[in-house]
Amino acid sequence: MQRFTIACAQFAVTPMAVRENVQKAIAWVERAVRETSAQLVVLPETVTTGFTPDCSAEELWALVDTLPGPMTEPVAQAARRLGVYIVFPTYERGPERGVVYNSAALFGPDGELLGRYRKTHLFPTERLSGGGWSTPGHEAVVVETPLANVGLTICYDGDFPELYRCEAIKGAEVIVRPAALLRSFEIWEMTNRARAYDNHVYIAACNAIGPDAGGNYYFGHSMIVSPIAQVLALARGTEEIIAAELDPDPIRYVTYGARTPMIFDHLEDRNLAAYEGILTPARSRFEPARRIPMRND
């Protein structure tokens, strides 16, 4: 990993207006690069439409596009023109009508699609199997770049330490988390800082702001967190850009502001024998108000 600047561009989309939102996203990337000299810019979850659509999965499939495809070609061109990496989250058209993935694409400074991640942990209301519109992905994705090894995740994924651990094991140094999170700032902050600290990785979490077509209003507060859980940059509940310079030697000391040497490594120090049951299906001993069935197809 090299020293570089990462930015999160937190802005409100126009619900369901794909072309308008693509142009708006490019304008915010341009602003982030201009104002912060960022080399990697992260955008919020489902930036082409907003999180909750006002249509069926079949109609959403027709509205969006494949990755790569004509919908994201202007983004690829912007990455090439600006010479930067862009994490562009969008609903992605699948191989059959009605198959829609909640995806994040990483475009490189040559305009090429370097990696694509399909959200593996769908929020219950978005699951196609539960009456929603999204089909899950099944792969942890880490993309090697000259800046860093970049892991891709999306929103509710952040509640699942296992995915972040898998990406850290695959070599991730920075994990991005585009999101449209509604629950609370405390949950948002805690999961971002915990996933960073659990795995000794940087987390760049870009949350949505403003309304979507379902009447939800997102609170923003994007953040960039260091591998020792220090919040390096924090947005407010408004449209704005945050940025931080990432140090390639971030775990020399046990915590920020200290000079006590770090003597542990959360990956190396795992006791693998204790995790025998980690892949066992399970349910909480406590009952939620309503269960939406989880299916992995």
For residue 13, the domain's CATH number is 3.60.110.10
Q: How does residue 297 score in pLDDT terms, banded at 50, 70 and 90?
A: low
Average confidence (pLDDT) over 26-40: 99
- Asked if 55 is an active-site residue, the reply is no
> For position 70, what pLDDT does the model report?
98
Asked if residue 235 belongs to a domain, the reply is yes
Q: What does the alpha-carbon distance between residue 167 and residue 172 come to, in Å, rounded to a whole number?
A: 6
Average confidence (pLDDT) over 3-7: 99
Asked if residue 289 belongs to a domain, the reply is no
- The tally of domains found in the chain comes to 1
Round the average pLDDT of the chain to a whole number and report it: 97
Asked if residue 295 belongs to a domain, the reply is no
User: Which domain does 192 fall in, by range?
Assistant: 4-275
The Cα-based distances of 224 to 6, 24, 150, 176, 232 in angstroms read 8, 22, 14, 9, 5
| Four-residue CA torsion sign, 127, 131, 134, 137 | positive
Q: What does the alpha-carbon distance between residue 22 and residue 65 come to, in Å, rounded to a whole number?
A: 12
**Residue bearing the bigger pLDDT, 58 or 130:** 58
Asked if residue 292 belongs to a domain, the reply is no
- Asked if 186 is an active-site residue, the reply is no
In the block, tokens 């949950």 appear at 187
Asked if residue 218 belongs to a domain, the reply is yes
- Asked if 170 is an active-site residue, the reply is no
The pLDDT > 90 percentage for the chain reads: 95
Task: Give the model confidence (pLDDT) of 95-154 as tens digits.
Answer: 999 999 999 999 999 999 999 999 999 999 999 988 999 999 999 999 999 999 999 999
* Residue of 8, 24, 92, 119 marked catalytic: 119
CA atoms within 13 A on the CB side of 109: 10
* Residue of 8, 24, 45, 166 marked catalytic: 45
Average confidence (pLDDT) over 70-74: 98
Average confidence (pLDDT) over 210-227: 97
Amino acid code (one letter) for 79? A
Q: What is the pTM of this model?
A: 0.97
> For position 257, what pLDDT does the model report?
87
Q: How many CB atoms lie within 10 A of CB 266?
A: 15
Q: How does residue 295 score in pLDDT terms, banded at 50, 70 and 90?
A: confident
* Residue of 8, 24, 92, 155 marked catalytic: 155
Q: What does the alpha-carbon distance between residue 226 and residue 172 come to, in Å, rounded to a whole number?
A: 13
Cβ pair 78, 109 in contact under 8 A: no
pLDDT at residue 34 is higher than 70: yes
Phi first, then psi: give them for residue 90, nearest 5 degrees.
-160, 155
Q: How does residue 231 score in pLDDT terms, banded at 50, 70 and 90?
A: very high
Asked if residue 283 belongs to a domain, the reply is no
